A and B are shown apart, each in its own frame.
Chain A
Amino acid sequence: MNKAAVAADHVASPLLSLHAVTKSFGGLTAVNGVSFTVEEGSVVGLIGPNGAGKTTVFNLITGNYQPNQGDIHFTGQRVNGLRTHRIIMLGIARTFQNIRLFQQLTLLENVLAGCHYRMRGGIFAGMLWLPAQRRVEQEAIERATRELAFVGLGQQTLAVAKNLSYGNQRRLEIARALATQPRLLILDEPAGGMNEQETEALIGLIEQIRARGITILLIEHDMRLVMRACEKLVVLEHGSKIAEDSPERVRCDPRVIEAYLGAEDEV
């Protein structure tokens, strides 16, 4: 695999880095001085018990929330303070914990949303439907259909999003995120609500995404998925980081076992 080579080029600065990021809501400190890095080409898992602040970290990275303290850098550029769509344009794409699709629209339209910012054409180009606009549209449709085929939804291009099964809705969200052509893909509980087979297929999909050279940061409760797919885990508890290491080491870390695995690992 050429991941090592890709990563070696960027040893100097990781793709994503959080430095002492703190976010509080009123009196509650949801994220407390969290620092970690995501190296280019890797798959990193963010785990921790419910309410540990994982999704808040994601929302801080994508600008849905602004940190009270600390900085977030992506490809060496500070991203906190930017609006979400600007951050997406820099090359971070995300999915949502409780699936946020454009329910009434077709699969194709959903994925075209991801293509949007790389397309040109405003009101007048749209109204006049000039050859240039048609070309732009053609390219976007081609990219969108490719991404739909990539996640295995190529046969349902014109189906309406709300009619998809839960697992397929998660796949559609991934296709929409991939259509933005990201360098970093953030997945918030991608296996949530999936059965065993679907989870197995998802692990395969994550492998394929990674093979395209896209870095992945994911939140997941499914420990089999996390242990198999990730090469580094960041563990949060009560908003603070308690571990950042390889899955094997994290599994043996007494603090992690006490906080998380010990209580939940009943398999």
Chain B
Amino acid sequence: MSRANLLVTGLCAALLAVAPLFLNAYQVDVLNSIGLYALLALGLNLILGEAGLFNMGHAAFYAMGAYTTAILNTRYQIPVLWTLPLSAAVAGAFALAVARPVVHLRGDYLLIVTIGVGEIVRIALVNDVFGITGGANGIFGISRPTLFGVVIRQPQQFFYLIWGFVALTIFLFLRLKRSRFGRALNYLREDETAAEGSGINTDYYKLAAFGLGAAWAGMAGTLFAAKMTIISPESFSFWESVVLFMIVILGGAGSIPGVLLAAFLVIGLPELFREFASARMLVFGLVMMVMMVFRPQGLWPSRGGQVSLALLGKALKR
């Protein structure tokens, strides 16, 4: 990262870190929503942005995580944050199971399948599948998370929990992006035949992208369940998947800063313009259309950098 970049990033992070001190509870809650969507979109970005696999059913993995936490917490009194790895595992395993038979599909075909998966999960939840999801009413009475002995209940406290997790995600994903694994996903997106022909097990990496992206959605689901204490199927509708898809494409597929920026715009702006009531969605839709016509690569396109330049410098010196 260049010095100017580092400065701007640091400034934004610092500004965000102190924001809860100046904002009211409602505004902080909006930031929390943005944080959750950012987490979800960063996970989807691995699948859609990095690997180029059209997934419009991401809300299904989100739901898996949220319901895993809700069920384990309300039935077995397992502390909410302890369910974090379990949510990741359940959502990840579910993604692997549903992606395995369809992983050879590309583009629009995969898109339709994932829409189907998203709907099946939602409808299964509404129909109280296995008698454990609470049907259309969902599950209530999820307990508050405790971190280092502090019970997290205020929006300000959730802000630091959620955004702390976002920061950790960014840190890990930036490293992943320039690693062997991250590059393999890009090869898939650019040309699957060439990737396989260069010795890359394309099926494995497609599944890994789905599994990892879904695991992250699962953990976002845990945080969501903790924040809401009540979850119901309507939180995981097709529209959620569409919004997440939009955030990734609008921000710039494969670009972590782009995805973050788009999460702020797509989730934050409609809240900012609440007084315009229904007109805001109209404007929002128009902005989307204009964006895609004039800037199809996204607001902040990925600039590559999939290789550590420090290591390259060393290699060239030898």
Contact = CB atoms under 8 A, between A and B. Distances in A.
Interface of A: 62, 64, 83-85, 88-89, 93-94, 96, 100-106, 108-109, 112-114, 116-117, 119-123, 125-129, 133-134, 136-138, 140-142, 145, 157-158, 160, 176-177, 179-180
Contacts of A145: 312, 315-316
A191 to B, nearest CB: 20
Nearest to A120: B180
A106 B306 CA distance: 9
A185 to B, nearest CB: 12
Contacts of B196: 83-85, 88
B199 A127 contact: no
Interface string B93-117: 0000000000000000000000000
A123 B180 contact: no
B271 to A, nearest CB: 32
Given A96-B197, A102-B190, A141-B307, 10 more contacts: A83-B196, A84-B197, A109-B307, A113-B187, A126-B176, A127-B172, A127-B173, A128-B172, A138-B315, A145-B316
B199 A141 contact: no
Given A114-B199, A116-B198, A105 B179 contact: no
B315 A141 contact: yes
B175 A113 contact: no
A85 B200 contact: yes
Given A101-B194, A108-B307, A109-B306, A180 B199 contact: yes
A64 B196 CA distance: 9
A142 B176 CA distance: 20
Given A105-B304, A112-B307, A127-B172, A141 B197 contact: no
Given A94-B197, A113-B195, A119-B180, A137 B208 contact: no
B170 to A, nearest CB: 11
Interface in B263-318: 304, 306-308, 311-312, 314-316, 318
A122 B212 CA distance: 11
Interface of B: 172-173, 175-176, 179-184, 186-187, 190-191, 193-202, 208, 212, 304, 306-308, 311-312, 314-316, 318
Nearest to B305: A106
B180 A137 contact: yes
17 contacts: A64-B197, A85-B196, A100-B197, A105-B186, A105-B187, A108-B312, A116-B183, A116-B184, A120-B180, A121-B181, A128-B175, A137-B180, A137-B308, A141-B308, A141-B315, A157-B316, A180-B199
* Most central of B199, B201, B311, B315 by chain A CB within 10 Å: B199
Contacts of A177: 198
A134 B184 CA distance: 16
A136 B199 contact: no
Contacts of A129: 175, 179
A117 B197 contact: no
A101 B191 contact: yes
B315 A116 contact: no
Contacts of B198: 88, 93, 113-114, 116, 176-177, 179-180
Contacts of B180: 116, 119-121, 125-126, 133, 136-137, 140
B254 to A, nearest CB: 9
A22 B311 CA distance: 48
B208 A123 contact: yes
A135 to B, nearest CB: 10
Contacts of B208: 122-123
A117 to B, nearest CB: 4
Contacts of A94: 197
A88 B193 CA distance: 12
Given A100-B191, A113-B187, A123-B208, A106 B307 contact: yes
Contacts of A121: 179-181
B193 A142 contact: no
Contact of B197 (A88, A112, A134): A88
Nearest to B181: A126
Contacts of A157: 312, 316
A138 to B, nearest CB: 5
A104 B190 contact: yes
Nearest to A180: B199
Contacts of B194: 96, 100-102, 113
B171 to A, nearest CB: 9
A135 B180 CA distance: 12
